[in-house]
Amino acid sequence: MSSIRLVTEIPGPRSRALVARREAATPPGAAKLTPIAVDHAHGSVVVDVDGNHLLDLAGGIGTLAVGHTPDAVVAAIREQAAQLVHICAIVATTESSVALAERLNALAPGDAEKRTVLMNSGAEAVETAVHICRSATKRQGVVVFDGAYHGRTNLTLAMTSKFNLFKKGLGPFAPEVYRMPFPNAYRRPEGMTEQAWVDWHVANLDHAFTAIVDPSHVACVVIEPVIGEGGFLPAPFPWLRRLRELCDQHGMLFVADEIQAGMGRTGKVFAIEHAGVVPDVLCTAKSLGGGMPISAVVGRADVMCAPHPGGLGGTYSGNPVACAAALAALDQIASEPFLARAVAVGERLRDRLDRLMDRHDWIGDVRGLGPMLAMELVKDRRTKEPWVEATQAMNAQTLQRGVITIRAGLFSNCVRLLPALDISDAEIDEAMDVVDAAAAEVERTLR
């Protein structure tokens, strides 16, 4: 049976009306990627206010690894909300917040004793991680990389790479942020092998820590194991390992930003596990809460305990309802069957994307790690000139046919897929048939 059921055009009249109300009530800076308004959802199926059933491959930009309204998460939310909605962790302690911290301490990579501080958003987690690292090292410098996205606070905007979309007109930004090149294998010089490109970047790290900033000034190196907003670029494992070596050599702290790539998104609980690298500090959010707003910073106890009492926290940090949701989500995400299914989802999606690329020469690259996948659209495979219009057209065409996809990439020319990691084979096939049809329409109208 088809999961997609369209009863009106997309967007339908009720969606258009509600979106018009949104546009009249909220500023345009709070952008929207689709023109639909949603009434309810479950699993991978979203039902809009007009009654159209759509398959969701955007997954709340990575917040819905366990899908929409997962039964266990919903039950945990209801039970906790009936018992206690909020108290503030600064005022008192709750069972769910302590249990979540204990669970994250146990799940995070590495054998060292760990501590966890709970926050509310990915940006807040990243900024808190920087505060902790500065306190622990008594240094100020923060190293980040091309293509990075770390959030929308002042410090995390300074750390974020994509200027025109996220940062234009919003400065001045926080100081002491130093940006280094990221080894984007797709955009390596013509004629250079991928291995040679990675080797060059590994060797260039020593140069960068002389030319850009001295390691003795650096509190932390912050890296997404898979660059998210920058276009789903997996960090090469040898490069990550060299970063780890340099951090150990110079007393810099290694921070893994797992906001989008974590929580099973790459087929492991944390994406950094693929490289065999143990971070000093790890940030997680998005799918951690099963759709509820919550984030966490997990790290070595000696590092995490550096800030003074009162130096960390917030009014809503460790909210008991969000913590209960996170515990239920983790029961599913950290299980072997769920992670095995995530790997299978990635294999099935990649096979379809690879076959699509074989048929359309304007799909320049298909990449990612496990089920965290994207395709980069270009006008010419040799020049790799970004084709933003095709990306916009692809997302519009998939939506009109009942599948939600969204953009990514430093040039906004990637289509990214962030499905629920327990999506069924039938739903994958149905959604990818739509992506195929959308690509054919782009070929017909734009080529």
Note whether 371 and 342 are within 8 A (CB): yes
* pLDDT in the model for residue 181: 96
Pair of tokens at residue 200: 């060059």
Percent of the chain beyond pLDDT 70? 100
Which of 333, 363, 386 marks a domain boundary? 333
Which of 288, 315, 333 marks a domain boundary? 333
Note whether 191 and 185 are within 8 A (CB): no
- Say yes or no: 50 and 98 in one domain: no
d(CA 83, CA 46): 30
CA-based diameter of the chain, in Å? 63
* pLDDT in the model for residue 164: 83
- Say yes or no: 31 and 119 in one domain: no
Query: What is the amino acid identity at position 435?
Result: V
Closest by CA to 275, choosing from 230, 231, 223, is: 223
* pLDDT in the model for residue 6: 98
- Say yes or no: 152 and 239 in one domain: yes
**What domain range is 329 assigned to?**
72-333
- Say yes or no: 185 and 220 in one domain: yes
d(CA 349, CA 194): 23
* pLDDT in the model for residue 1: 82
d(CA 71, CA 398): 28
Which of 333, 348, 373 marks a domain boundary? 333
- Cβ atoms within 10 A of the Cβ of 3, count? 20
397 in any annotated domain: no
347 in any annotated domain: no
431 in any annotated domain: no
354 in any annotated domain: no
160 in any annotated domain: yes
pLDDT exceeds cutoff 90 at 162: no
Beta pairing partners, 233: 227
d(CA 434, CA 447): 19
* pLDDT in the model for residue 99: 98
- Say yes or no: 147 and 289 in one domain: yes
Averaged pLDDT, 398-427: 97
* pLDDT in the model for residue 114: 98
Strand order of the β-sheet with 406-408 is 363-369, 372-377, 414-417, 406-408
- Say yes or no: 8 and 152 in one domain: no
Beta pairing partners, 43: 68
d(CA 167, CA 173): 9
Averaged pLDDT, 104-121: 98
The length of the chain is: 447
- Say yes or no: 84 and 110 in one domain: yes
288 in any annotated domain: yes
How does residue 142 score in pLDDT terms, banded at 50, 70 and 90? very high
* pLDDT in the model for residue 447: 80
- Say yes or no: 238 and 132 in one domain: yes
- Please, what's the b/e burial string for 159-170 (b: 16 or more CB within 10 A of its CB; e: otherwise)? bbbbeeebeeee
Number of domains in the chain: 2
- Say yes or no: 87 and 208 in one domain: yes
Q: Which residues contact 311 (CB under 8 A, 6 or more apart)?
A: 131, 135
CATH code of residue 114? 3.40.640.10
Burial (CB < 10 A; 0-12, 13-18, 19+), residue 191, is: exposed
Average pLDDT of the chain to the nearest whole number: 97
- Say yes or no: 123 and 244 in one domain: yes
Pair of tokens at residue 21: 């109300």
Q: How far is CA 85 from CA 68, 76, 109, in A?
A: 21, 12, 31
SS3 call for 444: helix
77 in any annotated domain: yes
- Say yes or no: 292 and 269 in one domain: yes
What are 80-94's pLDDT values in tens digits? 999 999 999 999 999
pLDDT exceeds cutoff 90 at 296: yes
- Cβ atoms within 10 A of the Cβ of 442, count? 23
- Cβ atoms within 10 A of the Cβ of 344, count? 16
- Say yes or no: 115 and 235 in one domain: yes
4 in any annotated domain: yes
DSSP per position, 229-290: TTT-EEPPHHHHHHHHHHHHHHTPEEEEE-TTTTTTTTSSSSGGGGGT---SEEEE-GGGGT
d(CA 410, CA 286): 21
